[in-house]
A and B are shown apart, each in its own frame.
Chain A
Amino acid sequence: MTQTDIIALLAAAVILPFLAAPVSFVVPRFLASIVCAASSALSFAAIFAASVGYTMDGKQAFSRDLVSVHGIAIFGFTVDRISVLIGFAAGLVGLLVCLYSVGYMALGNREHPEVGKPRYFFFMQVFVSAMAGLVFSSTISGQLFFYEATGVCSWGLIAYYDSPKAIAAGTKALIVEHIGSLGLYFAAAMFFVSAGGFSLSALGGMGPGAKTAIILGILFAAWGKSAQFPLHIWLPDAMEAPTPVSAYLHAGSMVNIGVFMYARALLAAGNVPHVVGAIGAIAATFTLVYAFFLYLPQLDLKKLLVYSTITQLASIFLALSLSTFGSILAFDGGVAHIFNHAFAKSLFFLVAGCLSFTTGTRMMPKLHGLLAEMPLVAIGFGTAALAIAGVPPMNLFFSHFAMLAGGFQASRAYWPLLILVGISILEAVGTFGWFLIKFGDAVPGPASPAVAGATALPVTMAVAVAALVTLTLASGAFAAAWMG
């Protein structure tokens, strides 16, 4: 497969869902979900084929500019190991979530019994396309465009249920993400001023001052998208969204945009000034500790998962920031963690969705004894909880170990970093303990009344959950081998 073929496949992956999105308004209501699932399947198939082609080619990284104005590239694609890995994950999670939505957005849903409206599937498909576009984008202008596109989609999807709380949550999300995007605008402007273009590869050749300014701008935008302190306030309220949206946007894809852009910038920059790493690391550690303490009062499963997402992303930010002190292992571990976390956290959110679908509640004090009544959901819950807790053979153990090893490596340059790594280890122990308690509460033992009265689980939802369980168990070694 030639490089042109790969680019063509990726272009198809981006454009196809975008074109299929308006179709949701035209077809009969019950077909809209099928169309959505089909287009996301095709998009993923294209990405998969492109990944295979890339691997067969000997994993050679390359870029291609697609749209240029006056010689300045505006849109382009970069195909390298991190974009293929994250693109694959985002595409696969997208497919599984769309498949899941076929069953979830139906009248059988005890928490929100209604058939899915067309605009849900419209926004989902636009999102699939925007996500693919952003991950493979080779220019900052392209990243900016797709960044804003995902922001609009998240507004539409969060506010989907039309209740006052949902609409407020959607608006808040849009505003906060847009504040974050100011950083990206600033970075794009600095790009143009320093390098005369928007191609990310130009970052490598800039002076330290420009690099610092640009990467800090990107970092600020990343904080907005990945819900790091102080721009994290939109994510807890975003749980008003339907659960598949939470799984996709707020676990599997959109929040990964932030860390991904940061990783891409660090990779392109090569030698990053230590002040950037220091700022990133300290902010990440603060968010880590802050979000951990916010686990404690949560009774709603989805809110707990939100804060868990924030801490996991914070640890990725920490690892990526520490990699600037000279540890490639930290970088590779961080990117692998994005991959692994996408599957594990989406699984957990989909499990939460299964629980609200079948029992009508997400409140953890009411959910006990899952193993007795719904073994598949219980296995999903257990796998996801233990994965977040960092226990092998689940995938997060492998990347977390790599991140820690990288953090230790980085501390050779500057030993006070070891304090930050130590704090992250303590937080990991705390997370482990908390999720183990939740697992012990929810899964074993006799079923609580809410669970005992659960309805049956639709096939599409079960398939999605089963697939993610398999992925959570298998992807750890795969990601480590890919990045190495």
Chain B
Amino acid sequence: MPVLALLETSVALYTIGGAGSLLLWRSDAAATLFAGVTSIVAAILGTAASAQVLIDGTGPSFAAAGPIPFASFLLRFDPLAALLVLVISLVTLAASLYSLSYLREYAGKGIGVMGLCFNLFVASMVMVAVADNGFYFLLFWELMTLTSYFLVIFDQDNKAVAAGFLYFFITQSFSMLLMTAFLLLFIHTGSLDFSSFRAANLPPWLGSVIFLLTFFGFGAKAGMVPLHIWLPRAHPAAPSHASALMSGVMVKLGIYGIIRFAIEILGASAVWWAWTVVAFGAVSAVLGVLYALGETDIKRLLAYSSVENVGIILMGVGVGMAGIATGSPVLAAIGLLAAFYHTLNHAVFKGLLFLGAGALTFATSTRDMARMGGLARRMSWTASFFLIGALSIAAIPPLAGFVSEWLTYQAFFATGMGPDFTSRLFGPLAAVMLGLTGALAVMCFVKAWGLMFGGAARSEAAASAAEVPVTMLVGMGGLAVLCMALGLGAPVVAPVLSRAVAALRKSGAVEVADGTVIFPGDVHQAVLSTPLVAVVMVCLVAVPVAIAAMHRGRRLAPRIVPEAWACGYDHDARMTVSASGFVEPPDVMFRGLYRLRAMQGPVGDTLDGSVIVSTEAAGIVEPLWNRMAMWVATRGVPFIGQQLQVMEGGNLRVYCLYILAALAVMLICVVG
């Protein structure tokens, strides 16, 4: 089936699924099933279509006039769009499978509407990825935000509504920057089509203005620091399968926008653009993981971790842009390859982690890590899948996250080998920031997994938790397998993504793989073989097993004691390490950076204060004009009237004088 037809069918199925879910609102089970099954099929079609385009290295376009006179309906399904559609489809597939039993938690709260919003959300994300005209891009962009807004406020409590407001307001206001950028290009080129944007010959100052507008407009959606404040509030409030999509996929559309505009449309011509992107990326990465470390709510932790990973992807994008601007094609290719790979990886493992968090909430009715514990025994499948996700996000070899971080490090290395001083300065410094981030991420996810799944149960709910239903496990399991496949299959995946990068840059693909080995363009620079690492690790397990087998006959079987050693005292559940205790050292060491977050308070207070002052001022001003006008009517007119009343003396002789005077004036006028 041709690729475009697959894509259209996919989008149509999402829409039908959503509409059907709404029509079936009376029956929760029917709505869940209909919406879930249609989106599963649609996601499979989407995966097939995008995989085809990525493998081919080129994709189709579509053009139609559409009802709007100043904007034609254009679609462009090139490899960059295909990467996004692949990411969307894979996570949607897992999330839809997951939702078949997860939505039981929302029984009676309007599942029909949720199905509508979820399906339309996915459909609009797909359309954003392939839209090739500014108006339709913005249309689907805002639809995406609207549908996810309804998902965020779904719980309808105060926190959710406040989170939804912050989310919608920030992303929408920054969409105005996008609209301004598109309209500036519109008046320069006379059309809203991206293809005419591409062909436009912009004066450098205008190019920089457009870059800044699109960078911040898309950066707000991507969750870049300092525009990230909506993320930790909005992502946890939504239902978990929607959070998986918002955190794993929707933020990628922000990055997609930055790549599409800065690199493809504007051509990444100025080097300072690249370093700006890298700088914001580095700050987001470090601050994101630092704030994640301080959280006890698992979903907020994952949300902040998304900020971190967006920072990592942006660093890769920035390095790619530096490569383009300084004319180093290999650097450009490796930087963008790292960014693309991490986009794909992060979507998969962040989706997995959010689905896992949802499973935990499903089983224990709480999101607080301090109230969980000991769940590895009661929910062993969830524990294993979550562990794979945690290992991936901490970039432990040979899983997915490691490969993309390795590529990012190689990109920084290549920058460090660059011709100009700024590259040589920033490359290694960026690597150090990434290293710091990685170590903090290790700490963060050790804490997360350890506190939730390890140790003893810390609450009644955790002690009685049960494993979640099969469809939820299948959804998570699929993503876990994908994590491993993206890691071990790096020699297969990297060339495909390299071709996508080449299509974006309209140049030849850089060689990145040979057999089971991947390398960043130059074999001499570095090589990595994840399959080899995996095989060696598995084989080497024989060594400690052999050691442990020694003297097996002579020793007794292991004995289980009820408690860990507590110096002779009775062991108490409160003696185990707490969430905040675990992170006390970095909390102390990085206190200054945590204080940055407290600065948000005064900013919010200033805004509230200015609203209050404006309200009072408006309340005073409102009747002002009214009273002035009324004053004229109630005082002015009678006043004039009273002055004129002087003329009415009452004296008949005066009135005769008036008549004579009028007669005289008239005669003069007639005669003269």
A interface residue numbers (CB < 8 A to B): 175-176, 229-230, 232-233, 236, 293-297, 329, 332, 371, 386, 391-393, 397-398, 401-402, 404-405, 408-409, 411-412, 425, 428-429, 432-433, 436-437, 440, 444-446, 477-478, 480-481, 483-484
Contacts and interface: CB of A to CB of B under 8 A. Distances in A.
B156 interface: yes
Interface in B57-84: 67-70
B138 A429 contact: no
A299 B87 CA distance: 46
B7 to A, nearest CB: 21
Given A408-B186, A425-B180, A477 B618 contact: no
B98 interface: no
B433 interface: no
Interface in B608-635: 611, 614-619, 621-622, 625-626, 629, 633
Interface string B149-183: 00001001110111011001100110010011001
A239 B73 CA distance: 43
B142 interface: yes
B146 interface: yes
Contact of B618 (A296, A392, A481, A483): A296
Contacts of A230: 625
B621 A405 contact: no
Contacts of A412: 187
B143 interface: yes
Given A296-B615, A408-B183, A432-B172, A484 B629 contact: no
Contact of B67 (A397, A401, A402, A477): A477
A436 B629 CA distance: 34
Nearest to B160: A444
A444 B153 contact: yes
A233 B625 contact: yes
Given A296-B615, A297-B615, A391 B142 contact: yes
Contacts of B168: 436
Nearest to A426: B176
Given A401-B138, A481-B69, A483-B69, A440 B164 contact: yes
B30 interface: no
B139 interface: yes
Contacts of A478: 67
A475 B611 CA distance: 34
B112 to A, nearest CB: 12
30 contacts: A175-B633, A232-B625, A233-B629, A236-B622, A293-B617, A293-B618, A294-B621, A296-B611, A297-B618, A391-B142, A393-B139, A397-B139, A401-B138, A402-B70, A405-B70, A408-B183, A409-B187, A411-B187, A425-B179, A425-B180, A429-B176, A432-B173, A440-B162, A440-B165, A445-B161, A446-B156, A481-B68, A483-B69, A484-B69, A484-B70
B101 to A, nearest CB: 26
B77 to A, nearest CB: 22
A444 B156 contact: yes
Given A401-B135, A481-B69, A429 B187 contact: no
Contacts of B146: 386, 391-392
Nearest to A295: B618
B184 interface: yes
A391 B135 CA distance: 13
A404 B626 contact: no
Contacts of B626: 233
Contacts of B184: 408
A412 B172 CA distance: 26
A477 B173 contact: no
A297 B622 contact: yes
Nearest to A481: B67
Nearest to A290: B621
B615 A440 contact: no
A296 B629 CA distance: 23
Contacts of A401: 135, 138, 179
Contacts of B139: 392-393, 397
B625 A404 contact: no
Contacts of A411: 187
Given A371-B156, A391-B172, A429-B172, 12 more contacts: A294-B622, A297-B622, A332-B69, A391-B142, A401-B135, A405-B186, A433-B169, A440-B153, A440-B162, A445-B157, A478-B67, A481-B68
A203 to B, nearest CB: 26
A175 B632 CA distance: 13
Interface string B184-216: 101100001000000000000000000000000
Contacts of A440: 153, 161-162, 164-165
6 A-B pairs closest in CB distance: A484-B69, A297-B619, A296-B615, A444-B156, A481-B67, A408-B183
Contacts of A295: 618
A202 to B, nearest CB: 29
A484 B135 CA distance: 15
Nearest to B67: A481
A332 B68 CA distance: 12
A408 to B, nearest CB: 4
Name which of B162, B622, B626 has the most chain A CB atoms within 10 A of its CB.
B622
A231 B402 CA distance: 67
Contact of B179 (A175, A404, A437, A477): A404
A131 B646 CA distance: 46
Name which of B156, B186, B192 has the most chain A CB atoms within 10 A of its CB.
B156
B136 to A, nearest CB: 10
A230 B632 CA distance: 14
Contacts of B625: 229-230, 232-233
B201 to A, nearest CB: 16
Interface in B579-625: 611, 614-619, 621-622, 625
Name which of B70, B146, B165 has the most chain A CB atoms within 10 A of its CB.
B70
A411 B188 CA distance: 11
A475 B290 CA distance: 48
Name which of A176, A295, A429 has the most chain B CB atoms within 10 A of its CB.
A429
B114 to A, nearest CB: 13
A433 B162 CA distance: 12
A193 to B, nearest CB: 23
Contact of B68 (A232, A293, A386, A480): A480
A411 B187 CA distance: 9
Contacts of A391: 142, 146, 172
Contacts of B617: 293
A412 B142 CA distance: 27
B68 A432 contact: no
Nearest to B617: A293
B165 A437 contact: yes
A398 B139 CA distance: 9
A117 B466 CA distance: 67
A374 to B, nearest CB: 15
B187 A428 contact: no
Given A402-B70, A408-B184, A397 B621 contact: no
Nearest to A382: B150
A392 to B, nearest CB: 5
Given A371-B156, A429-B173, A445-B156, A404 B67 contact: no
